[in-house]
Amino acid sequence: MNAAAKGIPDGLRVLGGWAINSVRRLGLASRFLWATLIQSGTSFRRFKLVTREMYFVGVYSLIIIIVSGLFVGFVLGLQGYNTLQKYASEQALGLLVALSLVRELGPVVTALLFAGRAGTALTAEIGLMKATEQLSAMEMMAVDPIARVVAPRFWAGVISMPILAAIFSIVGVFGGYFVGVVLIGVDEGAFWAQMQAGVDIFDDVLNGEIKSLVFGVTVTLIALFEGYDCYPTAEGVSSATTRTVVISSLAVLALDFVMTAFMVGGW
Amino acid sequence: MPFTIVPTVNLVEINNVNFAYNDRPVLKGMNMQIAKGRVVSIMGGSGCGKTTLLRLIGGQLQPAVGSVKVAGEIIHELGHDELYRMRRRMGMLFQFGALFTDLSVFDNVAFPLREHTDLPETLIHDLVLMKLHAVGLRGARHLMPSAISGGMSRRVALARAIALDPMLIMYDEPFAGLDPISLGVIANLIRRLNDALGATSIIVTHDVEETLAIVDYIYFVSEGVVVAQGTPDEIRASKLPFVHQFVHAEMDGPVPFHYSGEPYARDIGLDERGS
């Protein structure tokens, strides 16, 4: 402890240390993003590298996205019908299910699931590559690991997320349809017609996709940065993986609020 | 005119290098010259800065003071592209091979060729098989890294390190954790490949006998400086206490058995009880 820090209470010092460390890591993550962007040439010249990673982060996430979307749709159908029928508005069930999914649940739940499924896998993979000196070996072979390993995974995450969110919303709508129309007996024509009339391609669908694109950048960046920056031991990789889920989830929820606040004017 | 290697030309020159990890100094005024065509070993106890030296030569770390020159170029003054061009002429064997676990043995060796050349796949196939044949693992090309032993991993990594016919090959603890047969195979390969490629090799290790048998020159490093150097015969005959302790694996000596701390009697409270 230096002389200047002696008079400061412990709690304040810990808080200060935490704040400085957080800002430092934010700065490192920004530099990491910048390096990834300027080293992205290889990813676009050899797009096969990106499609390969899309297979791992996107296709492997499909099952959890589809099953979750279906159940979220089921629940929306049930809850929505239960509330709407009190006001004799059960024909609006299709609209409620679609708007809930496209505007909010699709992008947000997909991002949270993506952080848990693909984000952790990315962190662990990069972290273990670091711990086993594979990244160093690549550097010594004159291959930049940011260009060869990080950037393709980054773009794979950024491209996959909006597609997964769209799949989540589509499956969710069919889940709501199954419970509302097939099981409960809401009028099928009203279910689809209200949805068609009330869902706007720009204000709702496009905004939802913009959200999921931002979440794609955020979650993938956090996952890759945590892996690349982790302490190269088993414990280091393990805590980096945990941080990926915690920080990604909080960032997604906070960003969702901020973006919704900007978008709500259009509704 | 027959091709001859001129041993007096230095491929690597380390001049008065200081390096520290945060507040912990590792190298303190290190000086070293590695002549072209030679196989040179850097020896010393664990944590004495041997691997740090290799990373400085490879440009993965930068010295706080002093300079590291490779082929006449000061490594830490090179820009990103120039450094990467220089690294294409270096090969490095990491302690545990550092093979890419998602690629087969064949693809691991093909990796640098595919990244740095536009050679047709048929030619890459032939080159990879030649490199794998040189390390005796042509038949293992379809295996994944998880399916081969530690010694085989090391040989695959060696084939990968020489894929681009480097001028300088660096070995970080190449003998660590190997059985006697694998150890002999690796030692033999290091010498043979160096001579066949006309390269220069630096071996960082603490395996004395295997190393003395194959190298031309040895540097002993302790506490961040070179404490002894010489040919294998000079090292074997050395009376310097550090070298003697190291070569004869003596438990105590200039490198103490006990980590420094309070006197034993005081630590277990004999002082107070006695008084």
Please tell me which of the candidates B88, B101, B160 has its beta carbon nearest to residue A142.
Answer: B88
Cα–Cα distance, A42 to B84 (Å, whole number): 15
The pLDDT score that the predictor gives to residue B224 is: 86
Cα–Cα distance, B254 to B245 (Å, whole number): 8
Please tell me which of the candidates B60, B88, B90 has its beta carbon nearest to residue A136.
Answer: B60
Residue of A nearest to B88 (CA): A142
The pLDDT score that the predictor gives to residue B56 is: 93
| Contact check, Cβ <8 Å, A136/B85 | no
In contact, B70 and B14? CB cutoff 8 Å: no
Whether the CB of B20 is below 8 Å from some CB of chain A: the reply is no
A14 pLDDT more than 70: yes
Whether the CB of A67 is below 8 Å from some CB of chain B: the reply is no
In contact, A223 and A156? CB cutoff 8 Å: no
Q: Bin B161: left if φ > 0, else alpha if -120 < ψ < 50, else beta.
A: alpha
The three state secondary structure string of chain A is CCHHHCCCCHHHHHHHHHHHHHHHHHHHHHHHHHHHHHCCHHHHHCHHHHHHHHHHHCHHHHHHHHHHHHHHHHHHHHHHHHHHHHHCCHHHHHHHHHHHHHHHHHHHHHHHHHHHHHHHHHHHHHHHHHHCCHHHHHHHCCCCHHHHHHHHHHHHHHHHHHHHHHHHHHHHHHHHHHHHHHHHCCCHHHHHHHHHHHCCHHHHHHHHHHHHHHHHHHHHHHHHHHHHHCCCCHHHHHHHHHHHHHHHHHHHHHHHHHHHHHHHHHC
Residue B171 bridge partners (DSSP): B93, B203
Lookup: tokens for A123: 């962190």
DSSP state of B8: T
For the beta carbon of residue B191, count every other beta carbon within 10 angstroms: 16
The pLDDT score that the predictor gives to residue A2 is: 62
Over residues A32-43, the pLDDT tens digits come to 999 999 999 989
The pLDDT score that the predictor gives to residue A4 is: 64
Ranges under pLDDT 70 in chain B: 1-8, 250-258, 272-275
Q: Where are the alpha helices (DSSP H) in B29-140?
A: 50-57, 80-87, 105-116, 121-134
Cα–Cα distance, B52 to B225 (Å, whole number): 12
Cα–Cα distance, B121 to B107 (Å, whole number): 11
Over residues A93-141, the pLDDT tens digits come to 999 999 999 999 999 999 999 999 999 999 999 999 999 999 999 999 9
Cα–Cα distance, B38 to B225 (Å, whole number): 21
Over residues A154-169, the pLDDT tens digits come to 999 999 999 999 999 9
Whether the CB of B111 is below 8 Å from some CB of chain A: the reply is yes
Mutation test of the interface with chain A: which of B51, B52, B84, choosing the one with the most A Cβ atoms within 10 A?
B84
Please tell me which of the candidates A133, A136, A141 has its beta carbon nearest to residue B112.
Answer: A141
Element spanning B32, H or E: strand B24-35
Cα–Cα distance, A229 to A240 (Å, whole number): 8
The pLDDT score that the predictor gives to residue B7 is: 47
Order the strands of the B90-93 sheet from edge to edge: B90-93, B168-172, B200-205, B39-43, B217-222, B225-230
A73 pLDDT more than 90: yes
pTM of the model: 0.87
